[in-house]
Amino acid sequence: MVVGFGTISLTADMVYEGARSVYGPLLASLGASALVVGAVTGAGEAAALVLRLFFGPLADRTRRYWTLTTCGYALTAVCVPLLALTPELGAAGLAVAAALILAERIGKAVRSPAKSALLAEAAAEVGMGRGLGVHKALDQVGAFAGPLLVAALVAAGSLQLGLAALALPAVVAMLLLVVTRRHMPEPAEPAAQAGFPTAPAQRPPLPPAFLRFAAGTALCTAGLVSFGLIGYHLVDRSLVPTAGVPLLYAAAMAAGAVAALATGEAYDRLGAGVLLALPPMVAAWPVLAFGSTLAAVVPGILLWGAAVGVQDSTVKALVADLVPRERRATAYGVFAGVQGAGALLGGVAAGAAYDRSVPALVLGVVVLQVVALVLLGPVLVAHRRAGHRAAEQRG
């Protein structure tokens, strides 16, 4: 099941990450200004995160995890290849492209909490950290393969050819979803009759430890500014040509895959304390990545990618362990909403700081991570102690 979800994510990531790598050129070719490009892509990312606050509780309330997962992936599989047709629509092309981009990002919001709950259910059988680490590693393969595939096809033909070719991994993703679905049922509803969901009043609340953990990791997310700003720095300081930026992004995704696997295994063996390494990683990467030499920037980018990999895998393993099983989709929805707020505020602040003073940006990230460590430390230590007590009782 873990490998099944991983291969689904691999092929689906090829589709939407491949498309996201050329959203700017596509919209520009349809007549969009820089403001419109920013508004469309920004609104899409906001929808992908904030709407999970609704779809997470919906999954737990209806128990329709597979239905929501399938609908979300279907939106991506249909909307992305259709973008190849928008240049043929004349004046309507820009509006249709914007609508398709927003619909694809809404699909991400629809499926993510339900899929994460299903994945956690499967990963619990092999170790939460290991399972989510393997999934993230496969996911990252698609995240860098998709953009490279599109870049090659665009160079060989046209932008439309690159987008149209994404229909193939989209079809593969849906077929893999059907195969995986046949082997895994909907999670059983605890303490309820079959087919009848637990009443909302009976559902346990999200624990305070989870909320403190979400707040702490939101500060980590705020420190992990988007790769767009890193790429801007690379070109602005003439450190690499524009064509080299996607290659460094692919290298960062590879580093994320390795970090997800390594910290996932360490999480299962050593406990949640391994996540204490995340704030120092986030604090260190901008010191290198916003440097003035390529020799410093490359390790910084790899460290950024590794931190992103940990954030998207092992961090989510602890989310599953901190909350009751029947509230996991809700928790993942809330968690994504909090992380989205951190990413938005961090991105705006980092962009404003970069224009004024790179050292001030670096200092701001370091201060944020000190606060994150203060918030995360007690939660991680308490969870590790609880794990030791449980192990002693089983022994």
Q: Over the stretch 96-108, which tens digit does the pLDDT of each residue have?
A: 999 999 999 999 9
Do 368 and 345 form a contact (C-beta atoms < 8 A)?
Answer: no
- Report the percentage of the chain scoring pLDDT > 90: 37
Which sign does the torsion angle of CA 134, 137, 142, 145 carry? negative
More confident residue, 168 or 241: 168
> Could you tell me the pLDDT band of residue 129, with boundaries at 50, 70 and 90?
confident
> What pLDDT score was predicted for residue 53?
86
List of residues 6+ apart from 249 with CB closer than 8 A? 144, 147, 227, 231
DSSP 252-270: HHHHHHHHHHHHHHHHHHH
User: What's the confidence (pLDDT) of residue 182?
Assistant: 86
DSSP string, 268-329: HHH-GGGGGGHHHHHHHHHHHHTSSSHHHHHHHHHHHHHHHHHHTTHHHHHHHHHS-GGGHH
pLDDT given for residue 199 in this prediction? 45
Evaluate if residue 55 carries a pLDDT over 80. yes
Q: How many helices (H) and strands (E) does the chain have?
A: 17, 0
pTM of the model: 0.72
Greatest mean pLDDT among 82-96, 313-327, 349-363 = 82-96
Q: What six digits make up the tokens of 68?
A: 């929501």
Q: Each residue of 155-209: pLDDT tens digit?
A: 787 888 989 999 999 999 999 999 988 887 666 555 443 333 444 445 678 899 9
Determine the Cα–Cα distance for residues 200 and 189; give it in Å rounded to an integer. 13
Mean pLDDT, residues 254-277: 89
Hey, what domains does the chain have and what are their CATH numbers? 1-184 (1.20.1250.20), 204-395 (1.20.1250.20)
pLDDT, tens digit, for every residue of 278-332?
999 999 999 999 998 999 999 999 999 999 889 888 898 899 889 988 888 889 8
Statement: residue 13 has pLDDT above 80: yes
Average pLDDT of the chain, as a whole number: 84
Q: What is the structure's pLDDT at 392? A: 55
Q: How much of the chain, in percent, has pLDDT values that exceed 70?
A: 91
The SS3 call for residue 195 is: coil
Least confident piece of the model among 86-100, 131-145, 209-223, 281-295: 131-145
Q: Is the pLDDT of residue 394 over 70?
A: no
